[in-house]
Amino acid sequence: MADKLKIALLQIAPTGTLEGNLAKGIRSCREAKEMGADMALFPEMFSCGYDIYDRPPAVWQQDALDAHGDFVTAFGKLAAELSMAIGITLLEQQDGPPRNTLVLFDRFGRRMLTYAKVHTCDFGAEHDLAGGDGFHTTVLDTAVGFVAVGAMICYDREFPESARLLMLQGAELVLVPNACPMEINRLSQLRARAYENMMAIATCNYPAGVPDCNGGSSLFDGVAYLPELEGSRDTCLLQAGEAEGIYVASLDLDMLRRYRAEEVHGNAYRRPALYGALLDTTVHPPFVRDDKKER
């Protein structure tokens, strides 16, 4: 029997308070475990419900939390109690501007990955966030064995380089906390990132009713072709509707690994010696933007 990793996408609305979000997050993780989940993922910046618009930076930055503080560590303890990996998201406090961060605990409650959003939306309120320092992959010990897991956050998915770097690090599964409308083009980006890198991509969004969000949490497994099928298959294993809820999908890791070992995408036939222009930091018209931050 193929190993199937059950991933719960916690498409839940924030409560308006840190204490409420903590309590609701814990309840949702417990419910996900009851549904058979091996892993649970929150939407973007759940600690504050991504409430950074329509408030001055000096106000919303006060919601930033220590990544080793009580809110985050509560989910580490819960992960160990439930024997379920948990990806919790927060507005992270640090020296200087805060960061938009995911902390991933394994089923033993060990902190395995801390990822801060690299491509902050500098054209909006996220201009006042600090960007992350790069993309990272960890090997997660799950109930169905070891899985190489990486992360992107929301706008990161719009850059092919994000997923490509994670693929080159060996990522089999990429977690994507999200807070925006998941319309056809953004869903197509996720489908493409999964297809071209032969990796699974799990995205968790807020439900409709949360400003600028509409649900649509999804899991794409990236497996486009199977020997027994004529033509291609739909790589979408799950696409939630707009409603609040916990959505669980099963990822067939054996099938994904066989596909990665045989198919033509990913790093099989790349020619990186010809890609030098990708390292050129010069921005030419029409892509020059006055609000782009220098990093």
| pLDDT tens column, 26-82 | 999 999 999 999 999 999 999 999 999 989 999 999 999 999 999 999 999 999 999
pLDDT at 2: 53
The answer to whether the beta carbons of residues 187 and 218 sit under 8 Å apart is: yes
Task: Give the pLDDT band (50/70/90) at residue 230.
Answer: confident
pLDDT score recorded for residue 67? 97
Question: What is the structure's pLDDT at 142?
Answer: 95
Q: How many Cα neighbours within 13 Å face the side chain of 114?
A: 14
Strands 218-220 and 236-239: antiparallel
Rg (CA), the chain: 19
What's the burial of 83, exposed, middle or buried (CB within 10 Å: 0-12/13-18/19+)? Answer: middle
How far is it, in rounded angstroms, from Cα 10 to Cα 245? 7
The per-residue pLDDT of the chain, averaged, comes to 96
Contact of 85 with 106, CB cutoff 8 Å: yes
Sign, Cα dihedral of 251, 196, 137, 99: negative
Binned at pLDDT 50, 70 and 90, residue 289 comes out as very high
CA distances from residue 199 to 44, 161, 171, 220 in whole angstroms, order as listed: 21, 14, 7, 8
Encode pLDDT of 74-121 as tens digits.
999 999 999 999 999 999 999 999 999 999 999 999 999 999 999 999
Angle formed by the axes of helices 184-197 and 160-168, nearest 10°: 30
Specify the pTM. 0.96
Measure the CA–CA gap between 205 and 217, rounded to whole angstroms.
Answer: 5
Instruction: Encode pLDDT of 172-186 as tens digits.
Output: 999 999 999 999 999
pLDDT tens digits, one per residue of 136-171: 999 999 999 999 999 999 999 999 999 999 999 999
Kindly write down the DSSP assignment for every residue of the chain, as one continuous string. ---EEEEEEEE----SSHHHHHHHHHHHHHHHHHTT-SEEEPPTTTTTTT--SSS-HHHHGGG-B-TTSHHHHHHHHHHHHHT-EEEEEEEE--SSS-EEEEEEE-TTS-EEEEEE-SS--TTTGGGGSPPPS---EEEEEETTEEEEEEE--GGGGGSHHHHHHHHHTT-SEEEEE--S---HHHHHHHHHHHHHHT-EEEEE-PPTTSTT-----EEE------TTSSS----EEEE--SS-EEEEEEEEHHHHHHHHHHSSSTTSS--GGG-GGGG-----TTS--TTPPP-
pLDDT band at 1 (very low <50, low <70, confident <90, very high): very low
141 CB neighbour count, 10 Å cutoff: 14
pLDDT band at 275 (very low <50, low <70, confident <90, very high): very high
Question: pLDDT value at position 143?
Answer: 92
How many percent of the chain have pLDDT more than 90? 95
The 10s digit of each residue's pLDDT in 180-207 is 999 999 999 999 999 999 999 999 999 9
| pLDDT higher than threshold 80 for residue 257 | yes
